[in-house]
Each structure stands twice: as structure tokens, then as C-alpha cells.
Amino acid sequence: MYCPDEIERILISEDEIKAKVAEMGRVLTEEYKDKNPLFICVLKGSVVFFADLMREMHCPLEINFLKASSYGSSTVSAGTVKLDVGAGIEFEGRHVVIVEDILDTARTLYSLKNDLITRNPASLKIVTLLDKPSRRVVKGFTADYTGFAIDDLFVVGYGLDYDERFRNLPYVGTLKPEVYS
Ligand code: IMP
């Protein structure tokens, strides 16, 4: 298995992720099977989770992509969120499901949710693979569906990066502190 030197340890294995994504797909299929939902991938970090989750959805759905960024090459959120809410995506009357890689301070999803609500979707729910509840800045903000709650650790892999690296690892791992200190 490919495990770069910079990885300290594997926090969530490929098998654990696979089982969890299948379980989330089962629950979401049940909820959305008659709703032709619009699944939104929040680029770039969600792309791997999104691709796996949509293939665990056994019902009609449509997909689209948005870009949101708050981190540069640091492991601490910049505190500002840049949103590029897709021009040309029609949200009105749709059952929208935002698919995110990780919920941290929640600034990104708070901004995104507030923006999308003004576009009159029939419903709007948030799915996240990972959640770091202890890092929340937007108090009380939660996802509707969460894969794994984790401690306050900076993690990479399965789509998540540090300075654009490690997105291709099939597991979620922690970085050795010397990589970012
Ligand atoms: P929030 O706005 O602080 O909730 O940040 C959400 C975004 O920050 C995520 O979509 C990730 O791109 C990034 N992020 C937060 N925590 C981590 C982490 O541990 N590793 C990699 N990226 C992270």
C-alpha cells in the first residue's frame, strides 16, 4: 500500500471508509429514492467521497459541482471562505444534498447553506464524511449525515489535502507534525 513518509498514522482505513460510505448510501437512497435529488460536490476535497457515495445511491439523481476554499497551504483555516456558487445550476424546487469532505469550523458550509437557501430549493441537506465538532466556530452547526466524528487532528487522504498533496491516498491519515510546523 502507498504510504508516504509524511504520514504519521492511518486514522480511518480504506475498508472502514468503504463500509461507512455503503451504509450512508443505503440511508440516503431510502430518503431520496422518489425525489430525483441534486447532489452537489464541494470541490476539491469532496471529490473522492462524492464519487464513491453517488455509486452507493441506488435511485435516480443528478450531480453538479461547486468550489469553496478557505485553506491555503496552512493547516489552520484562513477564516474567510471563497465561494464560487455555480452560475447556471438551477436549485429552485430541487431536493439538494451538499456533499462535503470535512466539517471543521463550519464557516464554509454556513456560507454555502445561507447562499443556497436564497435560491429556494425544495429541501437542503448536508452530508459530510468527517466532522471535527471540537473545532466549531459557527456554534450549533451540524451536518444532517456524518460518516465519522474525529478529534482535532489535521488529516489528509481520501480527497483531503495538505498544500494540494495526499488527496489520492485511499485512507484518511494524520501528518507528522514536522510536515506543517
Ligand atoms: P470549515 O469551513 O472550517 O468547516 O472548513 C472546511 C474545509 O476546510 C474542508 O472542506 C477542507 O477543505 C478544509 N479542512 C478542514 N479540516 C481539514 C483537515 O483536517 N484536512 C484537510 N482539509 C481540512
- pLDDT for the residue 170: 98
Q: To test the ligand 1 pocket, which listed residue (43, 70, 129, 168) has its Cβ within 8 A of the most ligand atoms? A: 70
Q: What is the pLDDT of residues 65-113, one digit of tens each?
A: 999 866 555 666 555 556 677 668 999 999 999 999 999 999 999 999 9
- pLDDT for the residue 80: 56
Residue identified by cell 457515495 is 53
Instruction: For Cα atoms 39, 41, 46, give the angle at the middle one, nearest 5 degrees.
Output: 135
Which regions of the chain are under pLDDT 50? none
The reply to whether 104 belongs to the active site is yes
- Could you give phi then psi for residue 22, rounded to 5 degrees? -65, -40
In angstroms, rounded to a whole number, what is the distance separating the alpha carbons of residues 19 and 44? Answer: 23
Q: Which residues contact 76 (CB under 8 A, 6 or more apart)?
A: none
Ligand 1 and 148: CB distance under 6 A: no
Ligand 1 and 127: CB distance under 6 A: no
